[in-house]
Chains A and B, each alone.
Chain A
């Protein structure tokens, strides 16, 4: 796992903001900037009388947000919703805006993991939205190997290693008590150019779980530094 860069930006006019990147600096590594506002006033059309409305807006670094941004925003909304206690602030809006900080034509797995982690950090930084857990995400890649029959898995592949991977995926885990074992998978996607077996996916998931635990520890240390 590369060194994590976590920063709390202190953006104006929003209630919480954070930056997350895999790699020791924010430039050149998969990094994302996110901001949270909430609970704030909601449009009448989107108002829910029993819970807060959670809205996610995702922006790539260049170009206007297209179909892929909207699809990923909808995915992130679904995976972050279990971690927020929305019933404590009905008829309000919790708005998350995430900006990808590296130029990429499509959202590849380390960037998606950064986006999820940055969103979680912004939610924690805001402080006004109650949460029941933390979602941490890491990406796992699968090396091409011609020699061995089984290929090896690598946690958090860096940009140079990406070209030699046969498959890559992102796993997101919800850390919170109430679940057995401490964390459960809330979302995963795995793409591979060759076929893979279920046990390989399970191995990838367990490797990712260890990485996500390290991300969790990194987040806790950042709270201790700031708070």
Chain B
């Protein structure tokens, strides 16, 4: 990744490439002069681009999730809707999860999700005019992979950038906690993280560590989290 710079919404971004791909936070507008178009940023954040300048995006933090396809999310079932369920994924509208959207599901063999159950699913349809739809299997292989119901555990809310950091394999937090005690984590890109461990105080410790490292409230780095962890009564 090359150098990045801060932009405010409405600022022009010098993104030029033959096969230009605009990521989140960038928008192409018609210039009022000739019929040329320019790329402007729609968020306040840092502009990053890939090494060959073909992919550009704006990195910023937010708390409200706007659904995008092929993202893995943690959702809570809030009701039944016909053949399937309505799931709260933190977006403006509830998402629909069809009863047959599971591996090996038939009309007679559907999973039994109760209201309040947590699921880990993939957003299969996220159009701005329609309600988002979820599926509980992998797109290419059509196998369950890690999707499905999350039994037990505890759901923690955090900012969206924290979730993206937790999904990064090079981030320090989860390996650090994993070296102290065993835990299971499911990170959704919608600002929700499901954690599960054998003891309650471990679960509380993980929740507090996530809150402490969250860029919104604390933003501790690796050495900070080590001192913070030692103050917890474990």
Contacts and interface: CB of A to CB of B under 8 A. Distances in A.
A216 interface: yes
Contacts of A124: 8-9, 43-44
Contact of B44 (A39, A42, A132, A227): A227
Nearest to A180: B32
Contacts of B44: 124-125, 127, 223, 227
A176 B9 contact: yes
A133 B9 contact: yes
Interface in A85-107: 85, 88-93
Interface residues of B, number: 34
A185 to B, nearest CB: 15
A41 B94 CA distance: 9
Contacts of B42: 85, 130-132
A83 interface: yes
A38 B160 CA distance: 14
Contact of B10 (A88, A92, A175): A175
Nearest to B94: A41
Nearest to B39: A177
A178 B160 CA distance: 30
Contacts of A227: 6, 44-46, 60-61
B64 interface: yes
Given A10-B216, A124-B44, A39 B66 contact: yes
A49 B64 CA distance: 21
Contacts of B63: 15-16, 126-128
B10 A177 contact: yes
Interface in B196-234: 216-217
Interface in A117-171: 124-128, 130-134
Given A39-B64, A178-B31, A127 B43 contact: yes
A40 B62 CA distance: 14
B33 to A, nearest CB: 8
B60 A177 contact: no
A146 B233 CA distance: 73
Nearest to B159: A127
A140 B27 CA distance: 34
18 contacts: A39-B91, A83-B9, A88-B128, A92-B92, A92-B93, A124-B43, A125-B44, A127-B43, A127-B63, A128-B66, A130-B9, A130-B27, A131-B10, A132-B42, A174-B10, A177-B12, A178-B32, A224-B6
Given A132-B27, A178-B32, 5 more contacts: A38-B64, A126-B64, A127-B60, A132-B42, A133-B10
Interface of A: 10, 15-16, 37-42, 49, 83, 85, 88-93, 124-128, 130-134, 174-180, 216, 219-220, 223-224, 227
